[in-house]
Chain A
Amino acid sequence: MTQEPLLKIRGIQIEGRSDETWTPIIKGVNLTLQRGQVMGLIGESGAGKSTLGLAAMGYTRDGVRISGGTVEFDGIDLLKASANVKRDLLGKRIAYVAQSAAASFNPAHRLIDQHIEGPVQHGLSGRKESAEDGVALYRKLRLPNPEEIGFRYPHQVSGGQLQRAMTAMAMSCRPDLIIFDEPTTALDVTTQIEVLSAIRDIVAQYNTAAIYITHDLAVVAQMADRIKVLLKGEEVETAETRTMLDAPTQQYTKSLWAVRSFERPTKPAVQTGAVPLVSVRNVDAAYGKEKVLHDVSFDMFAGRTMAVVGESGSGKSTTARCITGLLPPSAGQILFDGTALPADYRKRSKDQLRQVQMIYQMADTALNPRMSIGQIIARPVQFYLGLTGKAKRRRVDALLEQIELEPSEYFHRLPSELSGGQKQRIGIARALAAEPRFIICDEVTSALDQLVAEGILRLLARLQDELSLAYMFITHDLATVKAIADEVVVMKDGRVVEQGPKDEMFSPPHHAYTDLLLSSVPQMDPDWLSKLLAERGVDNIGDAAVNKM
């Protein structure tokens, strides 16, 4: 290619400050991006994806510095450019779309006012013209009511719409380069499709170059022309998307690709007449006056996993709160081993409480940051089983071994000294310490990288086989369901839409909603999104499909 590349990063080195010393985050990475090309950046968290993405704008977060290399954007050296030159480029020719649109919009201003800020500030157009252009962009991004949505405040629109509004805002100056930092990670699968297709169309239409940062391989396969894999601040490999997917050369890339292949063997069906361990019977529940659960019923059996799937707001977690007794149901019952549990957890006996344990989504908030790992796990051991002194310590050590962490190394550590996956393991150990028969796993893997998440799933599967535990596995990720579930319950708007054994659920015919959920899970095939959109009719994505039902 004779054309001069738009962005040229050469041997960039970035360091972060921790405990008075500078430690390298990015160790000499090269990146070349042509006009109109989309580059996917993938890697685990901590691989330096976001740092590299920001460095492409000549920007670093606080406590981070660029210590070497060059960043050249259209012939301008961004690292040597003065603040004035950069001020003129950023927003106008380089734009940034953050992971959480909700946290990135100013909640005190209307969407359109924030949208026109860029073009007006850079003197590209007047308020009126840029507002009109904003409406046009909203229409292109298929936001509902493009004329009016701009007059809403950020909290008045949904997460997916906000993410699209942010993309529109990034496009407002028609930049040459947009950096997308995990724009769909926080969204449901059905919403994700809308955002993905909108981004893809608009980038193609204006011939904008983009850097697309994500840890989801299937997503990057849809979006990127080329993919760069990062590991611990170093490049593993770079290739065209198709080449990369079909024939990755590096071992690490192969291991990333293999994650999605984990699947447990199918268990024999439950014998008829067996007593379910936990049975949810016709449960209704309400927060104040608003009814959120309507006649929910399903049974869970020892040694088996029940996956509860649905979008956010479908009542999955509320069902869990009813089972634990945090939210007493307004009607219906929870049976444990055939006997009804008191509705309020305060009225349950110590032994009843012990039998039902919970593992949380965010390990950060689920572990007391001021307690050592040893204290966290020892508490239920002492509380429920009455062990003290050496016996307690032995039990904690055994539990730590069970979750594959070296007791002597981790016993005295604080949660902040562990990685996300390790924290989640501690959450599992705390639940196991009570020696329960039933564990609720609330989105336990959704905050984790795929490799780490797979480790957690394997651990949970092994523990289930060893201890004959029953799991209620709440998730919105159908790949996880495929991997671990025996039975599946699909929920929508507080109702059970469909339930049955996994194999049945994953093979047609489905309920229309299940079908939508299933087909929305990104596949590794780079043509998947195009095919899907063609199938659904290009304009007829997400919202429309739901409305049709």
Chain B
Amino acid sequence: MMWFAAFLLGLAALAFAFRFAGQVATGRAPYFRDMTFGVAYGYLLAAAALIWLVWAYVQGRSPDPLVANKFFFLRVAIEGFIFFTIAAWLFRILGRNVGTKQTKRLFRSMPLTAAFGVMIILVYIFVAVFAGVLAPYGQAEIIRGVPANIMPGGNVAMGGNPDFPLGTDQIGRDILSRLIYGAQNTVGIAFATTVIAFLLGGTLGFLAATFGGWLDQVLSRMVDVLMAIPSLIFALLLMTIASVWAPRLGIPQTYFMILIIAVIDSTRVYRLARAVGQNIVVMDYIEAAKLRGEGLGYLMFKEILPNATAPLLAEFGLRFCFVFLTIASLSFLGVGIQPPLADWGTMVRDLGGFVNFAQFAPMTATPPLLAAGAIALLAVAVNFVVDWALHRSSGLKD
């Protein structure tokens, strides 16, 4: 603790020196002259963090496995960051030169974060659609004569197998194949759920905003009641009921899950759509349309909806991530997507125990982190794209 305080103090002194040196070197250029101490300190702090990162990375590449293993995941993160940055950059260059005039123009104004997001989403879609072709084995296939728990990495000396680059799970299924199929199941179901939530919540929200009065009151109070119950617990409760009904009715439990999460999430969409709609309804062009004698449908979908797309789109991205995480959590808790279907949430649960090995044998801990990473990567990608779309459609300029 003392060392840390001394370090911060030393940094403060260095920041002072840095600002002074800058002033002298540039002959009191306005940038250095008007620089506050906080800014100078921030520069030094950032420099210190950067130096530590470089040091940690060098440690991670150390030939001594005892040292290298400690920094293994940091190394992977740094390499991943650099890899994705370069990939996104190349992808943007590709987009700027290939395609129609419109897509080219789109890519020209695209920030790197959005290019990264679009790229990741495209890759996920590709993987989800062609899962059957890409995956070397079936998602539920227990491969004959192959032991369970093969180490990832494909290094025979370390207990791996080159035929199973990511190893096998606790009952001998190929993890790579299950990850690929997981894209189809988890992403596809999450997308369907979000779309239903938006159709439901958006329509009712606009209806409440346009119509107002008692309809608004009834709908809003109903939504309040639904929102008052913690959503995950509510979903768990309903899923437990559904698990009894589903076999009786002969409907797959997954359909129930889609509907339940969609209804729960539509309450949040309803709130947003209603609030946004109310702001639009007071505009003169809505009054003009009303006085023209337009019907409710025209008002809602032709006049209000196009003006509400920006906030709804942002919400769609966020909501998609939430739904996606809810499904993963439900699967993790055992009531979501049912085995043997591959699903990332289930994979994290099933393989989660291996995370304990992260400190000593990082490779062993990789399988659950891969599934978790797949979830995280998509969540980040979707949010980058939505941020960018929002920036564009709301006309915000720097």
Interface residues of A (CB under 8 A from B): 17-18, 63, 80, 82-84, 324-326, 345, 348, 350, 353, 356, 358, 360, 362, 365-371, 379-380, 383-384, 416, 430, 434
- Can you list 17 A-B pairs with a CB-CB distance of less than 8 A? A17-B397, A80-B30, A82-B30, A83-B34, A84-B34, A326-B290, A348-B293, A350-B293, A358-B287, A362-B284, A365-B283, A365-B284, A366-B283, A366-B284, A370-B306, A379-B292, A434-B292
Task: Check A326/B293 contact, CB under 8 A, given A18-B397, A82-B34.
Answer: no
Contact A345 B33, beta carbon cutoff 8 Å: no
Task: Check A63/B397 contact, CB under 8 A, given A353-B291, A368-B306.
Answer: yes
Q: Could you tell me the distance in whole angstroms from the C-beta of B292 to the nearest C-beta in chain A?
A: 6
Contact B284 A345, beta carbon cutoff 8 Å: no
Interface residues of B (CB under 8 A from A): 30, 33-34, 283-285, 287-288, 290-294, 303, 306-307, 309, 395, 397-398
Query: Complex formed: what's the CA distance from A370 to B309 in Å?
Result: 10
Q: Could you tell me the distance in whole angstroms from the C-beta of B188 to the nearest C-beta in chain A?
A: 31
Q: Name A83's closest neighbour in chain B (CB-CB).
A: B34
Query: Complex formed: what's the CA distance from A51 to B290 in Å?
Result: 40
B285 contact from A83, A365, A380, A384, Cβ within 8 A: A365
| A contact residues around B303 at 8 Å (CB) | 368
Contact B398 A17, beta carbon cutoff 8 Å: yes
Query: Complex formed: what's the CA distance from A384 to B291 in Å?
Result: 12
Query: Complex formed: what's the CA distance from A18 to B294 in Å?
Result: 37
Q: How many A-B residue pairs have CB under 8 A?
A: 57
| B contact residues around A358 at 8 Å (CB) | 287-288, 291
Contact A370 B307, beta carbon cutoff 8 Å: yes
Q: Name A350's closest neighbour in chain B (CB-CB).
A: B293
Q: Name A356's closest neighbour in chain B (CB-CB).
A: B291
| B contact residues around A380 at 8 Å (CB) | 292
| A contact residues around B292 at 8 Å (CB) | 353, 379-380, 383-384, 434
Q: Name B36's closest neighbour in chain A (CB-CB).
A: A83
Q: Apart from A82-B34, A345-B293, what 19 extra A-B contacts exist at CB < 8 Å?
A: A17-B398, A80-B30, A82-B33, A325-B291, A326-B291, A353-B291, A353-B292, A358-B288, A362-B284, A365-B283, A365-B285, A366-B284, A368-B285, A368-B303, A368-B306, A370-B307, A383-B293, A383-B294, A384-B292
Q: Could you tell me the distance in whole angstroms from the C-beta of B260 to the nearest C-beta in chain A?
A: 34
Query: Complex formed: what's the CA distance from A18 to B397 in Å?
Result: 8
Q: Name A368's closest neighbour in chain B (CB-CB).
A: B285
| A contact residues around B283 at 8 Å (CB) | 365-366
Q: What are the 10 A-B residue pairs with the smallest beta carbon separation, nearest first?
A: A370-B306, A366-B284, A360-B284, A368-B285, A365-B284, A353-B293, A365-B283, A83-B34, A350-B293, A370-B307
Contact B288 A371, beta carbon cutoff 8 Å: no
Query: Complex formed: what's the CA distance from A315 to B144 in Å?
Result: 87
Query: Complex formed: what's the CA distance from A207 to B395 in Å?
Result: 45
| A contact residues around B33 at 8 Å (CB) | 82
Q: Name B307's closest neighbour in chain A (CB-CB).
A: A370
Q: Could you tell me the distance in whole angstroms from the C-beta of B148 to the nearest C-beta in chain A?
A: 57
Q: Name A81's closest neighbour in chain B (CB-CB).
A: B30
Query: Complex formed: what's the CA distance from A430 to B294 in Å?
Result: 14
Q: Name A18's closest neighbour in chain B (CB-CB).
A: B397
